[in-house]
Amino acid sequence: MGAEVIPARVKIGQRRRFPLEAMQAYLFVLPAVVIIGIFKVFPAIAAFYMSLFKWDVIQGAFRGFGNYTDWLYDNSLRSPDFWRSLSTTFTYVILTVPLEIAFSLVIAYLLFQKIRGRGIYRTAYYLPYVTSFVAAAVVFNWLFHPQYGLVNALLGVVGIGPQRWLDEPSGFFQIVASAFGIALPEWAAGPSMALVVVSIVTVWHYLGYQVVIFLAGLSNISNEYYEAARLDGASERQIFTKITLPLLSPTTFFVFTIATIGALRSFDTVFILTGGGPLDTTRTVTLLIFKTALQQAQFGLGAALAFILTLIILLFTLVQFRVLGRRVYYG
Amino acid sequence: MRLTAAIVTTLMLVTAACSTAAPAPQQSTEADISLSGPVSLTLWHALSGPQQVALDAMVKKFNDTNGKGITVTALNQGNYTQLYQKTLGAIQAGALPDLAHAYESFVADYMKADVVVDLGPYKDSAKNGLTKQSQDDIYKGYYDTNTFPQYGNKLLSWPFTKSLAVMYVNDDILKEIGKPTPKTWDEFEATAAAVVKKDASGKVIRNGFALNTDASYFNAQVYSRGGSLMAADNKTVAWNGKEGLAVLQMYDRGIKGGWAYSPAGFDYQNDMAAGKLAFFLSSTSTVPFMKDLADKTPNFHWSIANLPQSDPTKAKTVQFGANVAVFKSTPEKQLASWLFIKWFTETDQSAQFASTSYYMPVRASAADSQVLKDYWAKVPQGKQGFDLIKVSSPEPNVRGQQDIRDVILNAITSVATGKATPDAAIKTAGDKSNQILASAQ
Amino acid sequence: MATVARTFPRSTPRPRLRIRGRTIALHAFLIVVALAVAYPFYFMVTSSFKDLLEATKNPPDVFPAQLHPENYIEAWNRAPWGRYFVNTIFVSIAVTIGELVTASLAGYAFARMRFPAKSVLFIVFLATLMVPSEATIIPNYVLMSPSRNGCLGLPCLGWFDTYQVQIVPFIATAFSIFLMRQFFLSIPSELSDAARMDGAGHLRFLWSVALPLSVPALITAGLVTFLGSWNAFLWPLIVTTKPDFRPVQVGLSAFRQEAGSSYHLLMAASTFVIAPIVLLFLVAQRYLVQGIARTGIRG
């Protein structure tokens, strides 16, 4: 890696200079090695160590993988919480990632046309991303306020009754169906209204970021393809589906991967908007880790859960690369 | 008659002597030593704003006047959750403060690491403790809540910032509809329903009751309906019986009947001040916030009263609020810590702190203090709360109680949002809580 | 990913939409979406100038009937905001500078120097990107706690309630190192040859040739780091409790509890917390947009 940069003729003096250069190189990487070693690598090893013990306030008996099996199946108080939070986490991924990609792809494509005011639009779309989630949550908590919220006021105009939004544990499909007088069974209730609102806010927050990445991807597609297509008399729609989409697939795949990992790992968004409620319907795995470790003082169980999540993210990323990565068209 | 009295008295004295004399000879305990030199102590707490100012003033007075060279430094550690998290971290590192503000559930967790000092010997120490009369001046509930059945009935913390669950009443609305403050739950429901006012479109613009999802107010209602919270052996919960069911059923009727709603955040305070709400349940520590709103709102009158009761002659409510625990260190530091909290809860200091912090006094005799009388003259709601201490009881302090509170919150939310019937909710919650208790043993 | 890592040429001619009607429809769509995205900001700023009564009016007025700039003064006076801002600015700048230094040095070494175990080290660095912070937050928390008995076999740092607890762990990230390495790799080797002929060492070459050529990369990495540091929430929440060291985001979160239902004050506080970073973004927008396109960092 990087060795090819050094021209061949330098190699004559290499043997004499090598120790000096290596010493110097170590000095160059030393600050990074120390910081990453102490604050990233060491804590990861320590967390794994903790996860092997009963660590209830203080270090207790060695449990092997007991904390892991507690979460997976062994403990009737823990494992239902785990599976439920895992399903909430995946629901959150399904609610946010496709929407983010669809919206940002369309907007990026439109912005890529030669139109006036592109900079202004881009700024508007990008603003949410630089806004801290704490501040965004203050505003959204209020827009979706059950009594004073603007969203309920707007719905009132079109004759829809007020909703509880972030305080609503009932399923989204259930609520929509009941508006038409249909009672849905519990298994078809869908994600809680609260989780849907959290997802909307998440999409809002990351939209501009995805737009920018798609714009970069679009600008990497050589203009010759478009010109050739136009000479052949292709329509705008054909150009989009036959040229833009396939050539953009590496970018789409990249956005898909990082958005998915981001959603699987997200904490701030949910924690600040709902804290996991109502009725634990927005409690994702990361929130469960937080509760277990830092509110119940079960450090061993918390660390084990964190490693289960790491493993899930890793597996997910690998599968994504294997299954989807192959279909990506690299031109 | 006189003979019987004499026998009973003798018996009581003998049992008392046995129970105190039995464990260890008094002179050899750490509680009876004297300080040999200056001691500095650190107190971690979660008070902020005016209450932190009140505490700092008390601490300064203690440092200036204790005459034994004890210096206390009080440090705010964020809110209660953050204080708890930091204390857990300090346990890992073996770097605890000398004293910490703590709820009962915190103390139960800290005891897993066996780091909390038993205050019983200090309280009873002939040399440094409290006289019998002085001990009896402190409300019994405050001893109960700090005595932990799962840790050998030791006294592991001391009352510090106490308050009560009470009902806040919008006096103007009751006056307008010509009804008194309800004394029973039946009267309460009738009054709350009569309060409701709707606009032309049928939207409710004045509501009866803002229901609170916090477990403490559920517990207070269980008490007020004559129920209890824990079985006698502390192994199962007792609120899942008919009293707890009645609480959830009333919430259900309130939501469905349109006279109750579940407010977001602290909206109920604004709503009451704006004349849109007749009743809510909250802590006596909400008084300063309501007073602040009332000062800004012309012609708004409010009061606090005990919760409605099933049997008003046996009225009951919940007392809660945090305590202070002493961590194991050196005998001298532990003694100095005890001397500080002993001083803090003497009559004068208790009255002084109650008048500046809005918390409840720890002693009955504080009521005779001029400081408190002056304060009550300005804020009559303070006295209205104080009068309820004698009918208040603490909540359970068993391990797992913190998780049980979440279970209760979920039960209330599921009823308030129509996700479960009261019967189903109380059954699920009771079963889950018993499971938590079993696993926390 | 390699495709994305390239910068996009600003001069690329774009496919042109021919029909005027479609252009109008296009703008209409973009404006509607932009309004929906930007509305919360408008709402926040206008609400911050209303009194409580008007702020809780439903439906809300588009514009305050009367401006109440005193909300800002009241919100500002109810919490030690000045302190919070000083803390955040100091921490963000320190983290940014620290990270640029470590990333430049390490990135350069990985790009242009030879040393044993280089590939292994680089892979370990990249692997740290895969471990979620939730896994390491507990040991990190313990590591920072006050020292007496030692923490997990290491001496505890005792850094609760300090600046360094918010700075030091973040002054080196694999991502910035990776980014800088990519830039240094793209510097033509003729330049380094020439420098070597002149007898310049690596440090001299880095300082006087490589870094000046990498100013865009430095600005990009710096802005992204600054943004992340400015908006950091969970870590400072856990490891600080005194206002003396707390950053604005944690202060705003605490203010939400304290202000309760005083929504107009909450909106004023949110506005002044967001304002500096929005202004910074508007000024430096071009670099940040390029930076994201180049690295794909999701904060």
Q: Are residues A75 and A40 in the same domain?
A: no
Q: Which domain holds residue A21?
A: 3-51
Q: Are residues A110 and A13 in the same domain?
A: no
Q: Which long-range contacts (CB under 8 A, 24 or more apart) does A2-6 make?
A: A2/C110, A2/C111, A2/C112, A2/C118, A2/C181, A2/C185, A3/C114, A5/C111, A5/C112, A5/C185, A5/C189, A5/C192, A6/C112, A6/C114, A6/C189
C260 vs chain B: nearest CA distance in angstroms?
Answer: 6
Q: Are residues A162 and A33 in the same domain?
A: no
| In B228-326, alpha helices (H) | 242-257, 267-273, 287-296
Domain membership flag for residue A188: no
Choose among A10, A32, A13, A27: nearest CA to C115. A27
Q: Are residues A258 and A135 in the same domain?
A: yes
- pLDDT: which is higher, C150 or B389: B389
Q: Are residues A156 and A81 in the same domain?
A: yes
Q: Is the pLDDT of residue C224 over 90?
A: no
DSSP code per residue over C153-174: TB-----TTSSHHHHGGGS--H
- Say which DSSP state B23 is in: S
Q: Which residues of C164-199 are buried (b: 16+ CB within 10 A; e: fewer)?
A: ebbbbbbbbbbbbbbbbbbbbbebeeeebeebbeee
How many whole angstroms separate alpha carbon A20 and alpha carbon B86? 47
Residue C153: predicted pLDDT:
63
Mean pLDDT value across residues B348-372: 93
Choose from B87-96, B342-351, C241-250 the range with maximum mean pLDDT.
Answer: B342-351
Q: Are residues A23 and A162 in the same domain?
A: no
- pLDDT: which is higher, B126 or A57: B126
Interface of C with B (CB under 8 A): 52, 56, 141-142, 144-149, 151, 156, 158, 160, 237-238, 241-242, 254, 257-258, 260-261
Domain membership flag for residue A217: yes
- Residue B201 burial by CB count (10 A; 0-12/13-18/19+): exposed, middle or buried? exposed
Mean pLDDT value across residues C266-291: 83
Q: Is the pLDDT of residue B160 over 90?
A: yes
Residue B63: predicted pLDDT:
97
Residue B122 amino acid letter = Y
Q: Are residues A17 and A107 in the same domain?
A: no
State whether residue A164 sits within 8 Å of chain B by CB. yes
How many whole angstroms separate alpha carbon C254 and alpha carbon C244? 14
Domains and CATH numbers, chain B: 33-163+321-382 (3.40.190.10), 164-318+395-440 (3.40.190.10)
B187-228 pLDDT, tens digit per residue, is 999 999 999 999 888 888 899 999 988 999 999 999 999 999
Domain membership flag for residue A182: no
Q: Is the pLDDT of residue C10 over 60?
A: no
Q: Are residues A153 and A110 in the same domain?
A: yes
- pLDDT: which is higher, C161 or B307: B307
Which member of B77, B79, B266 has the closest CB to residue C260? B266
Chain A residues with beta carbon closer than 8 angstroms to that of C123: none
Chain A residues with beta carbon closer than 8 angstroms to that of C138: 47, 50, 293-294, 299, 302-303, 306
Interface of C with A in 103-162 (CB under 8 A): 103, 105-106, 108-116, 118-119, 121-122, 124-125, 128, 130-143, 152, 154
B293 vs chain A: nearest CA distance in angstroms?
Answer: 19
Q: Are residues A33 and A89 in the same domain?
A: no
Residue C151: predicted pLDDT:
61
Q: Per the CB < 8 Å rule, is B85 touching C238?
A: yes
Which member of B85, B410, B417 has the closest CB to residue A168? B417
Q: Is the pLDDT of residue C120 over 70?
A: yes
Instruction: Using CA atoms of A69, A75, A78, A83 in order, give the dihedral in degrees to the nearest 10.
Output: 60
Q: Are residues A44 and A91 in the same domain?
A: no
Choose among C280, C283, C293: nearest CA to C93. C280
How many whole angstroms separate alpha carbon B178 and alpha carbon C88? 56
**Is the Cβ–Cβ distance between A61 and C152 less than 8 Å?**
no
A279-314 pLDDT, tens digit per residue, is 999 999 999 998 998 888 888 999 999 989 988 988
Between the two ends of chain C, the Cα-to-Cα distance in Å is 18
Q: Per the CB < 8 Å rule, is B269 touching C149?
A: no
Domain membership flag for residue A311: yes
B42 vs chain C: nearest CA distance in angstroms?
Answer: 14
Q: Which CATH number is A92's domain given?
A: 1.10.3720.10
**Is the Cβ–Cβ distance between A241 and A109 less than 8 Å?**
no
pLDDT band at B90 (very low <50, low <70, confident <90, very high): confident
State whether residue C198 sits within 8 Å of chain A by CB. no
Mean pLDDT value across residues C140-151: 70
Q: Which residues lie across from B425 on neighbouring strands?
A: none
- Asked if the bond preceding C59 is cis, omega within 30° of 0, the reply is yes
* Token pair recorded at residue B396: 């359970």
Residue C297: predicted pLDDT:
45
A27-68 pLDDT, tens digit per residue, is 999 999 999 999 999 888 888 998 999 988 888 899 999 999
Residue B299 φ/ψ region, left for φ over 0, alpha for ψ in the -120 to 50 degree band, beta for the rest: left
Q: CA distances (Å), A119 to each of A123, A128, B97, C297, in order?
A: 6, 15, 56, 21
Domains and CATH numbers, chain C: 80-295 (1.10.3720.10)
pLDDT band at B9 (very low <50, low <70, confident <90, very high): very low
Q: Are residues A33 and A152 in the same domain?
A: no
| Total domain count, chain A | 2
Q: Are residues A12 and A79 in the same domain?
A: no
Q: Is the pLDDT of residue C295 over 60?
A: no
Domain membership flag for residue A219: yes
Q: Model pTM? A: 0.85
* Token pair recorded at residue C181: 């390495």
Residue B223: predicted pLDDT:
97
Domain membership flag for residue A18: yes
How many whole angstroms separate alpha carbon B317 and alpha carbon B360? 14
How many whole angstroms separate alpha carbon C174 and alpha carbon C124? 9
> What count of Cα atoms within 13 Å lies in the side-chain half-sphere of residue A48?
9
Domain membership flag for residue A315: yes
Q: CA distances (Å), C23 to each of A239, B316, C74, in order?
A: 17, 72, 47
Q: Is the pLDDT of residue B180 over 60?
A: yes
* Token pair recorded at residue B88: 């857990």
**Is the Cβ–Cβ distance between C135 and A310 less than 8 Å?**
yes
Q: Is the pLDDT of residue B413 over 90?
A: yes
Q: Is the pLDDT of residue C181 over 90?
A: no
How many whole angstroms separate alpha carbon A23 and alpha carbon C115? 8
Q: Quick one: angle between helices B401-416 and B422-440, nearest 10?
A: 170
pLDDT band at B1 (very low <50, low <70, confident <90, very high): very low
In the predicted model, residues of chain A with pLDDT beneath 70 are: 1-18, 325-331
